């Protein structure tokens, strides 16, 4: 930093960026909860509100990118300061993707208006969503607090979500085999379950960003999961 | 730009960034083609090579981001120069996502080793892939050449892919209804078709980035498609 003035100006810029990321995180969390609520309660209007919120998320991402780039150009931060700015941009990219995935679920609500609605399947989806939403919340808190151990907890906690997803896929497959009339409904739920699993992946990406911001390097180990486990187990070569 | 020296240094940085994006684009295009080839020819080894290539794509994205940020901090570019750098970062983000989607298809090859292999379905997938790969190629050429009309052609050309995806989904649904033993195979193909459709979406994102780089603002109109068309049509409320 060139001077005390520059350092102070940088801090103000960074605070504003962090505030925008927090705002975006709040929207993304709400979209996750609302989209699955809309699916479970067959609330088409709520599904449409989720779809509409995605535009706000997209706008915030562009704003964060713009501010980040201006801050880099104006303040020429180095080392940890630069990583803070790059970190904000990366988290915003993941939150934007989370918004897309929730929006995709919101769109499916209208297609799920059918009489076939086994509560059991929705409970599995709901349980998965609770876990993933908790991961997103925890990792955003860890990002805000620069809490590396908390971020690493999220990074390692992906396995339970994958296990629920696997068992949900297996159940959906059974329903489809039993009665062809269930097929299109179950396919929608499979795509939704996959979306929630992917939201969990973005939470672990954010955990990696927290690691990078604090440690100044990319995380070395690999994530403790095999991405394909769900699928290989659930859909054997029938 | 502060001086002629800075301007020249900036040009060198930008050329290097453009070269890295081109390298990444080449890898992404190959991953698209190889993943679908692997699916069609049930070539598990090729599928695994696609999965392995994804790490290269990820590394290139990080490298592009790093170089872009350093260029902004060192050269403090303004206006169109700044947009060039931001553009390179955005294109790299989309190419990274394309890599992920191709990798996901590569992983499914092992799960598709079954005797049920209707050529007709694969032809649909192949046709979709040809179109999408052409879009990716065209938009990367448009990016390299700063060719706005060519980018806008890609931006508007998404509808044909969506139409093929819709008809493929409908066919897959028929196969699933006919014989429950086809279900898990068809689900894999549905996820693959959806991945290819999403790769097409990333091509249109890149077209929007070209627009932003040249015009200095976000594209005003909305894309000429409804994301949900495929699904609403293919999976009625049975």
Q: pLDDT tens, A51-110?
A: 999 999 999 999 999 999 999 988 888 888 999 999 999 999 999 999 999 999 999 998
Res B238 pLDDT > 50: no
Minimal-distance CA residue of chain B relative to A191: B191
A80 Cβ partners below 8 Å, 6+ apart?
A: A213, A216
* Residue A222: predicted pLDDT: 54
CB contact under 8 A, A181 and B236: no
* Residue A130: predicted pLDDT: 95
Domain that holds residue B149: 4-234
* Of A107, A110, A183, Cβ closest to residue B176: A183
The stretch B191-210 carries a mean pLDDT of: 95
Q: Which of A39, A228, A221, A20 is nearest to A119 (CA)?
A: A39
Cα A73 to Cα B200: distance, rounded to the nearest angstrom = 33
For residues B143 and B206, the answer to whether their CB atoms sit within 8 Å is yes
Contacts of A82 in chain B (CB under 8 A): 69, 73
CB contact under 8 A, A194 and B191: yes
Minimal-distance CA residue of chain A relative to B228: A107
pLDDT (tens digit per residue) in B41-59: 999 999 999 999 999 999 9
Res A7 pLDDT > 90: no
* Of B181, B227, B238, Cβ closest to residue A107: B227
Contacts of A86 in chain B (CB under 8 A): 65, 69
Predicted confidence band at B36 (pLDDT cuts at 50, 70, 90)?
very high
Q: At CA A22, angle to CA B211 and CA A200, rounded to 5? A: 85
Of A193-207, A224-238, B43-57, B122-136, minimum mean pLDDT range: A224-238
Find how far residue A84's CA is from the centre of its chain: 20
Cα A183 to Cα A123: distance, rounded to the nearest angstrom = 19
Contacts of A180 in chain B (CB under 8 A): 176-177, 180
Cα A118 to Cα A14: distance, rounded to the nearest angstrom = 48
Minimal-distance CA residue of chain B relative to A236: B111
Encoded tokens for B183: 């279900």
User: Could you tell me if A48 lies within 8 Å of chain B, comparing CB atoms?
Assistant: no
For residues B79 and B1, the answer to whether their CB atoms sit within 8 Å is no
- Other C-beta atoms lying within 10 Å of the C-beta of residue B182: 20
At B217, which helix (H) or strand (E)?
none
State how far residue A24 is from chain B, nearest Cα, in angstroms: 19
* Of B112, B234, B237, Cβ closest to residue A114: B237
CB contact under 8 A, B184 and A173: yes
User: Could you tell me if B114 lies within 8 Å of chain A, comparing CB atoms?
Assistant: yes
Cα B98 to Cα B33: distance, rounded to the nearest angstrom = 12
The stretch B119-142 carries a mean pLDDT of: 93
* Of B65, B73, B82, Cβ closest to residue A76: B73
Q: Which of B161, B224, B170, B226 is nearest to B198 (CA)?
A: B161
At B130, which helix (H) or strand (E)?
helix B119-145
pLDDT over 70, % of chain B: 91
* Residue A60: predicted pLDDT: 97
The stretch B73-88 carries a mean pLDDT of: 90
Encoded tokens for B148: 């706005």
- Other C-beta atoms lying within 10 Å of the C-beta of residue A184: 23
Interface of B with A in 54-113 (CB under 8 A): 62, 65, 69, 72-74, 76-78, 82, 85-86, 93, 104, 107-108, 110-113
Encoded tokens for A95: 């939150």
Res A207 pLDDT > 90: yes
Cα B204 to Cα B48: distance, rounded to the nearest angstrom = 28
* Residue A238: predicted pLDDT: 29
CATH number at residue A46: 1.20.58.220
Contacts of A194 in chain B (CB under 8 A): 191
Burial of A78 per CB tally in 10 Å (0-12, 13-18, 19+):
exposed
Which ranges of chain A does DSSP label H, i.e. alpha helix? Answer: 4-40, 44-75, 79-108, 119-145, 148-156, 159-178, 183-215, 229-234
The stretch B87-95 carries a mean pLDDT of: 96
Cα B107 to Cα B109: distance, rounded to the nearest angstrom = 6
Burial of A9 per CB tally in 10 Å (0-12, 13-18, 19+):
middle
Residue with tokens 């769900």: A230
Cα A25 to Cα A140: distance, rounded to the nearest angstrom = 7
State the number of CA atoms in the 13 A half-sphere of A211 facing the CB.
Answer: 18
Q: How many domains would you assign to chain A?
A: 1
Q: What is the mean pLDDT of chain B?
A: 88
For residues B189 and B117, the answer to whether their CB atoms sit within 8 Å is no
Contacts of B205 in chain A (CB under 8 A): none
Quickly list DSSP for A85-101.
HHHHHHHHHHHHHHHHH
Q: Could you tell me the CA-to-CA distances from A99 to A33, A41, A95, A110, B103 in Å, in that order?
A: 11, 20, 6, 18, 22
CA-derived radius of gyration, chain A:
20
**A51, A63, A73, A213, best to mutate vs chain B, most B CBs in 10 Å:** A73
């Amino acid at each position: 930093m060139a001077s005390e003035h520059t350092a102070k100006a940088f801090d103000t810029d960074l605070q504003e960026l962090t505030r925008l990321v927090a705002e975006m995180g709040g929207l993304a969390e709400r979209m996750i909860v609302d989209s699955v609520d809309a699916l479970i309660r067959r609330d088409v209007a709520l599904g449409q509100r989720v779809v509409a919120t995605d535009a706000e998320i997209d706008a915030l991402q562009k704003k964060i990118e713009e501010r980040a780039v201006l801050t880099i150009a104006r303040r020429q931060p180095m080392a940890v300061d630069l990583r803070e700015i790059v970190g904000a941009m990366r988290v915003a990219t993941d939150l934007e993707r989370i918004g897309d995935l929730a929006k995709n679920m919101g769109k499916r609500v209208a297609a799920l208006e059918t009489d076939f609605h086994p509560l059991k399947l929705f409970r599995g989806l709901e349980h998965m969503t609770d876990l993933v939403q908790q991961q997103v919340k925890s990792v955003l808190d860890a990002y805000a607090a620069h809490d590396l151990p908390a971020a690493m907890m999220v990074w390692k906690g992906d396995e339970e979500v994958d296990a629920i997803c696997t068992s949900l896929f297996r159940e959906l497959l059974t329903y489809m085999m039993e009665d062809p009339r269930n097929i299109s409904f179950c396919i929608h739920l499979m795509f939704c379950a996959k979306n929630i699993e992917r939201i969990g992946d973005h939470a672990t990406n954010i955990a990696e960003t927290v690691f990078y911001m604090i440690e100044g390097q990319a995380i070395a180990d690999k994530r403790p999961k095999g991405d394909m486990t769900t699928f290989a187990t659930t859909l054997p070569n029938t």
